[in-house]
Structure 1
Amino acid sequence: MLLTTADRLELPAGRLVRCIPTPPGPPGGARVIDVVADAPPSFNQVNHALAAGATGGWLCLTLTLPEPLDRPSFAAACAALMARHEVLRTTTSFRDGAPVTLSFGDEFDWEIVESDCEGPLADRRRQLRTLVDDATHTVDGPKICFAAIDTGERSTVVIALDHGLTDAVSMAVLGRDVVQLYAAARDHDRAVLPPVGSFLDACRAEAATGGPDAAAAAAAGPDLAAETAGEGFADWHAFFDRNQGGLPRFPLPDAARAGSGPAAIDLRTVLTADRTATLDRFARDRGARLPACLLAVCASAAHAQGLADEFGTLLPVGTRSRDEWREAVGWFVSNGPVELAAGEPLDRLLVRAQQQVERAQRLATLPLSDVLASYARGFAHEGDVGMISYVDYRRVPGHELHERHAVTQASPDAPTTDVQLWWVRDDSGLALRARLPDTAQARSIVGGWLDEVERTLRALTE
């Protein structure tokens, strides 16, 4: 699985084919869009909708089919995706100031629109980016883009969604689904896909129990759940206190945060599959898992570079706590805090990092809206949020298709004021995408830090 950005996508020249779903409406009349009253939007969805601009805010996946595009089969696959995943037929909006989930219904009219996608690669990228921006910001229907570029010999499929509908794992699930649904439609067969749940059920659970995974915690008993939540709120509030009432920021001078354009991107292939397995064993032998090992090495490298004695960040945590959500599409992610004494010996730091990962997973189950609302000092964080993400795509449905179909995930190119890391493990090994302010000072500081991280990881696997 390659992670990149829209301005770095490899796109062929060819015929651009788009499948557009439109909710049917009465002739000459307005479409009826229903409010899903029992499934209010999640905390992530509300924040995303509040921050939405005229462009960006989407996730995109591309994959290659080794054949010319069969238009009817592609349209059938897109329609089947919409039918399979309820969240694709919804959007987040506001009614009288309150966030609501809107449903476009279950039936859609489908239109196939074609145009040329020619010229220099930069022009093709710009054409696709404009198409995705328009599709994911529409107010007339689902905020999705189903498209393909047909070269006459092969086809590059493009699926893009408003981020409020999806997360990185969900994009990979959609890639698996569309490959199988397209093949089934082309061969006049029926795709064999596992049963799937709905993200709207996760929204219902969050609204009913107070957090994305709070139902599981409540099963342990109301008294224990209340005690755990109280301690968790206090932990979150103490974390805010240690960061001036907000969230930790990567140690950059203020002047280094103010880039004049889109974020700088640092893409690295860090370890082979064999070396990644060696690193995994190294961590396990010392009581940690690979995500904790990566956090520990990041903290240690920050100390070695003279950047920080205390290293804090956010850790995205998956919330697919029910079996039926494993195959579902939606934003199944919360966040938990991580704090490490960066100068400790690595063996001790590994144990501490594992403890921090487990703490982050526990605190991520709490309703962040209530965590923030109950913070007496008042939450105050300016700029973007720094974080370190880890996804093991070997555990994601359809991972065996990634290399064969050149599956790639891309996000928009947009400015940032902080540093975000995405660690990716797949069948080829360990890779990294870093996003940072596009200033000379930030590129120098973050580049040196990541060089130290990479050197350390390679040394641990020799």
Structure 2
Amino acid sequence: MTEGQAAERLAGLSDRRRELLTRLLAQKAAATAIPRLPRTGAPPACSHEQRRIWLATQATPEAAPANVTLGVAVTGELDLVRLAAALGALVTRHETLRTRYTAIDGLPHQVIRAAQPVPLELVDLTCLPEEDREAEALTLALTAAGERFDLVRGPVLRLTVYRLGAAEYRLFLVCHHIACDGGSLGLVAADLAALYSGSDLPPPASPEYADYAAWSAERARERVPERLPYWRDRLAGVEPVFPRVPNRGGAGRGSATSAARVGRDVVDGLRRGGAATPFTVLLSAYLVLLHRLTGRRDLVTGMVTSGRGRREIEPVVGCFINLVPLRVTLPDGFPALLTQVKEAVAGALANEIPFDTLVSGLGGHRLPGVYPAFQAAIVHRDDPAPPPGWDGLRTRVWEHEVDDPSFDLGLTATPRGGEYELALTGRLARFTQADLADLTARLIGILRDPAV
């Protein structure tokens, strides 16, 4: 029963029955609520999402998931003392932002601290010619976005302020992915603005991330035995989309990104009267691109899910995203492909389990240099909302690109007004910048003429 349906039913009942149904609904909600862990001082276990990131960081630091970043362009008299106080209050407010990590019996655990100093650095660029300051700030921010954090010592985030003029600044917050995901950035931006402005905020979210970690682990223990057979059958005999990454020496390290935009009308024109979602259309076009690139029709890609299916964790800052494999055999014709993709997505989501559990449950020999289960992935993001108002300041989203070297090839689709921004990020061990620019142009061409 949805909240709207519940409210409609309550409105049509007598006072006595309304009170009784209200109690029953409250009891049901309490029975399924995420319980709060006792804070005894013992380090709680990490979530499956955190464990996947931590293990990747320990095994191959250069291929670990990228940091998440938040950029805000500020015009006005920015008070750095107030900003530093707001940053400290932000970290105090959210447990995951003041958490360090330690290994116990080979697995990561959370060390939640009462307080955690956070670096705030001012970089004054006013010594440069005015026309060069924005580009230099962006270059420095991109470098800062790739710098790694010490998860054992902390902290897991830092804030840099680039001063471009007497009343012109760029704020750039970088946070390790183990503590924050893209869905949390809106929460962080809103809270930082409110704390800077001295606004009253509601109490911190309850449950907090450590509570979610324990609850989700228990839920996974219940679901994995019944869902793992689906994945063993679905991914049986699967081969890597790309072979092992060739060794290009120092020139092959890192990744690069190429981006282009296509009108939403182009994407909507392929939705067959709304029967397919924009995500289905974009994923289908991406599969056609992979088919043309590899010559294969049996393809496995990865899909990133938000992991925020419960309302009570919507205000929680943390890492909730999961990776879900999608196996599709490309048919003849784009309309048939849309149907195949819809069915694959529905089946995958109905049987979703934590990705690290899926990989270990499949067994088999892991190939060095090959990402498990899939090597190409897609992320569909929300239209980035402008940052909330700051007291006495004008702000806007500060655009920037952050390369993620986790996959051989990744597509990030972001709606921006009347367009979709499509960014292809590839590992330089496999693709050059020119290769990625060519692939981006080919992807746009497929959307305009989607022949399989």
TM range (shorter): 0.7 to 0.9
Q: Which of 280, 304, 311 is matched with 2:299 structurally? A: 311
Q: Which of 270, 273, 279 is matched with 2:262 structurally? A: 270
TM-score norm. by structure 1 comes to 0.72
Query: 1:330: Cα distance to partner?
Result: 1.1
Q: Does 1:179 align with 2:193?
A: yes
Q: Which of 227, 236, 250 is matched with 2:231 structurally? A: 236
Contact kept, 8 Å, 1:91 with 1:102, in 2: the verdict is yes
Q: Does 1:47 align with 2:30?
A: no
Q: Does 1:389 align with 2:378?
A: yes
Contact kept, 8 Å, 2:244 with 2:367, in 1: the verdict is no
TM-score norm. by structure 2 comes to 0.74
Structure (1 or 2) with the larger CA radius of gyration:
2
Answer with 90-99 or 52-61: which moved more: 52-61
Match of 1:23 in 2: none
Answer with 418-427 or 133-142: which moved more: 133-142
Distance, in Å, in 2 between the alignment partners of 1:80 and 1:306 is 50
Match of 1:209 in 2: 219
Q: Which of 325, 330, 339 is matched with 1:351 structurally? A: 339
Residues 111 and 267 (structure 1), Cα distance of their counterparts in 2 relative to 1, 3 Å cut: closer
Contact kept, 8 Å, 1:36 with 1:101, in 2: the verdict is no
* CA displacement 1:352-409 (0-9 Å, x = unmatched): 1111112222233x24444333335355563345343333424x776788x9612445
Q: Which of 346, 351, 354 is matched with 1:363 structurally? A: 351
Contact kept, 8 Å, 2:413 with 2:420, in 1: the verdict is yes
Contact kept, 8 Å, 1:104 with 1:141, in 2: the verdict is no
Q: Does 1:260 align with 2:252?
A: yes
Distance, in Å, in 1 between the alignment partners of 2:364 and 2:116 is 48
Q: Which of 100, 111, 135 is matched with 1:102 structurally? A: 111
Q: Which of 155, 173, 181 is matched with 1:159 structurally? A: 173
Distance, in Å, in 1 between the alignment partners of 2:81 and 2:94 is 20
Q: Which of 329, 337, 341 is matched with 1:341 structurally? A: 329
Q: Does 1:432 align with 2:437?
A: no
Distance, in Å, in 1 between the alignment partners of 2:148 and 2:238 is 38
Q: Which of 194, 209, 214 is matched with 1:199 structurally? A: 209
Distance, in Å, in 2 between the alignment partners of 1:452 and 1:410 is 21
Match of 1:373 in 2: 360
2:304 alignment partner, SS class: strand
Q: Which of 286, 307, 312 is matched with 1:324 structurally? A: 312
Match of 2:31 in 1: none
Matches within 5 A, 1:124-139: 128=141, 136-137=149-150, 139=152
Contact kept, 8 Å, 1:176 with 1:397, in 2: the verdict is no
Contact kept, 8 Å, 1:135 with 1:143, in 2: the verdict is no
Query: 1:89: Cα distance to partner?
Result: 1.2
Contact kept, 8 Å, 1:54 with 1:137, in 2: the verdict is no
2:420 alignment partner, SS class: strand
Contact kept, 8 Å, 2:141 with 2:172, in 1: the verdict is no
Residues 378 and 236 (structure 1), Cα distance of their counterparts in 2 relative to 1, 3 Å cut: farther
Match of 1:405 in 2: 396
Answer with 298-307 or 82-91: which moved more: 298-307
Q: Does 1:81 align with 2:90?
A: yes
Contact kept, 8 Å, 2:411 with 2:425, in 1: the verdict is yes
Residues 345 and 40 (structure 1), Cα distance of their counterparts in 2 relative to 1, 3 Å cut: same
* CA displacement 1:225-244 (0-9 Å, x = unmatched): 5xxx4453123224543234
Contact kept, 8 Å, 1:422 with 1:433, in 2: the verdict is yes
Contact kept, 8 Å, 1:315 with 1:387, in 2: the verdict is no
2:275 alignment partner, SS class: coil
Corresponding letter in the other structure for 2:359: L
Distance, in Å, in 2 between the alignment partners of 1:99 and 1:194 is 25
Alignment size in residue pairs: 395
1:328 alignment partner, SS class: coil
Q: Does 1:146 align with 2:141?
A: no
Distance, in Å, in 1 between the alignment partners of 2:259 and 2:120 is 35
Query: 1:50: Cα distance to partner?
Result: 2.8
Corresponding letter in the other structure for 2:252: S
2:424 alignment partner, SS class: strand
Distance, in Å, in 1 between the alignment partners of 2:252 and 2:260 is 24
**Unaligned 5+ runs, structure 1:** 1-33, 212-217, 219-224
Q: Which of 246, 271, 276 is matched with 1:283 structurally? A: 271
Contact kept, 8 Å, 2:409 with 2:426, in 1: the verdict is yes
Query: 1:319: Cα distance to partner?
Result: 0.8
* CA displacement 1:120-148 (0-9 Å, x = unmatched): 76875675567666783275442110232
Distance, in Å, in 2 between the alignment partners of 1:318 and 1:148 is 29
Corresponding letter in the other structure for 2:253: G
Distance, in Å, in 1 between the alignment partners of 2:364 and 2:180 is 32
